[in-house]
Amino acid sequence: MSLLLLFIIFIILICLTFQKWIIHSIQILKAYKNIPCSPNKLPILGDLLTLPLDSHKFTKKLDEYYQRARNENLFSIWLGTYPLLAFFHPVGLEHFFSGTKNITKSSDYRYFLPWLRTGLLTSEGTKWKDRRRILTPAFHDKDLLANSVDIFNEQATILVQRLASLKPDKEVNLYTYIAACALDIICEATMGLNVGAQQQRNSEYVNAVLKLTDILIKRLRMPWLWPDFLFNLLSEGREQNRCLKIVHQFTKKVIDDRAQNFHANETDGKRLAFLDLLLKQMHDEQLTLLDIQEEVDTFMFEGHDNAAAAIHFTCFTIALYPEVQQKLHEEIDRVFGNDYDRSCTIEDLNELEYLECVLKESLRLYPPVPFIARKVQEDFMFHDHKVLKGSSAFIFIYYIHRDPKYFPDPDRFDPDRFLPENSIGRSPYAFVPFSAGSRNCIGQRFAMLEVKVILATILKRFKLKTSQSADDLHLAFEVLLRSENGPYIQLELRH
């Protein structure tokens, strides 16, 4: 048998083996051929050779794509023959935010599973619907929210004490201070346990949570870490397994201890926590302790880093605009008078209307979650393009917030955009820092109260300054929005 014949047989066998994949790839290429894409896209390889691995450079490449697609409804980024459909504008987002058809997270969220298992962030179908129904009342519970505000105040006071010890003539990256505060808050509000991250207690658990977040981010942007068998052989995989053991054992012990001492109408004198509300529903909803643990782990992950990013970027924008800060200080002084040691109440927070506008404008420019990804569940027409079932849709919140149709001069910081009279007629999908629709952030009210308490407590004591500009930050799209250069902020005592 000649070598040529052997080669032909080999090719035929390959084609038969990968027939389904080849046919699907051809269908995708045909369906999406008219969707704008990079001019440097290569056959078979797509954009793989031009997408940088460095987070900041990758984000700059996305900026290039956005500039090309500013007047387009869709843009496609090709990982080989696999397209990521990029949605940069609010128009058409009802396909994902209205109804329950396209609410399944994309396969890219599979890297969260070892830590979060199938909690609310990663679950789908019937399990997600049941969990959302079970969990929603907890985040509207008046006692839980009232207890949470007490926690916000206590931990914000510790944060301010730590910040007051910093050198007043030096610009500092405040992120580690703010993140420790946010971690203490979410631990106590979720599990009823003060882990003392701000006092460097329980450092093994605290460090494991932070390390797991870093490994997740690293894995998402490095293709050679995607295959599980290879990842588990490398140092990152071994470190993740070590940290998972620490985190899961810690939360399991807390839940077991709380469950043993738990009674339906009392929490043994302890402050009410999210965990207590889950334990109350255990019997009626047929939840196991493992079910409860995956939700606790999920809120531990989602609850600390997002809030810390929102606070840090908002502090930067306040420092960047002295005239905005002056108005904030006037509002703070009007609400609190000379009693700067008084804790914030929910009534105080409702009065801090300009602070809320500033926070929302900061969330517009620096959304902690810069994009979300969904798996399309059925074919649909999007303008003149047919979007196929199974496709990955990446909804870039960072760019949606910069649509000039809804936010003229979109890169300008202007809190007045969020005054009630200026928000009339704005698309419900033009400002979505907590996503939207049935799969929006279940804890957004909790998060807004937390961030406002911490910002108000900081502003009561400090004047914020910075020598940086927005361009100095070197933003990076990861699981969360990151800055590779600061921001660096100087704290000057007001009183």
Residue with more model confidence, 262 or 196: 196
The reply, when asked if residue 187 is annotated as ligand binding, is: no
Predicted pLDDT at 90: 94
**Dist CA 78 CA 25 (whole Å):** 12
Please list the helix, strand and coil fractions of the chain in percent, rounded to the nearest 5, in that order: 55, 10, 35
- pLDDT value at position 45? 86
The answer, yes or no, to whether residue 268 has pLDDT greater than 60, is no
pLDDT value for 24: 67
Phi, psi of 369 (to 5 degrees): -105, 105
pLDDT surpasses 60 at 1: no
Residue ranges of the domains in the chain?
119-369+401-493
pLDDT for 21: 62
pLDDT digits (tens, 9 = 90+) for 417-472: 999 999 999 999 999 999 999 999 999 999 999 999 999 999 999 999 999 999 99
How far is the C-alpha of 41 from the C-alpha of 466, rounded, in Å?
41
Residue 266, pLDDT > 70, answer no
Could you tell me which of 455, 466, 462, 457 has the C-alpha nearest to residue 491? 462
Burial 352-367 (b: 16+ CB within 10 A, else e): bebbbbbbbbbbbbbb
Question: By percentage, how much of the chain surpasses pLDDT 70?
Answer: 94
Q: What pTM was computed for the model? A: 0.92
Reply yes or no on whether the pLDDT at 491 is more than 80. Answer: yes
Q: Which CATH class is domain 119-369+401-493?
A: mainly alpha
| Tens digits of residue pLDDT in 76-135 | 999 888 899 999 999 889 999 988 888 899 888 899 999 999 999 999 999 999 999 999
Burial class (CB in 10 A: 0-12, 13-18, 19+), 188: buried
Mean pLDDT of the chain: 90
Question: pLDDT per residue over 304-322, tens digit each?
Answer: 889 999 999 999 999 999 9
pLDDT band for 478, please (50, 70, 90 cuts).
Answer: confident
Structure tokens at 182: 């946010």
pLDDT value at position 479? 83
Alpha carbon dihedral 444, 447, 452, 457, in 10-degree steps, equals 170
What is the reported pLDDT for 3?
Answer: 64
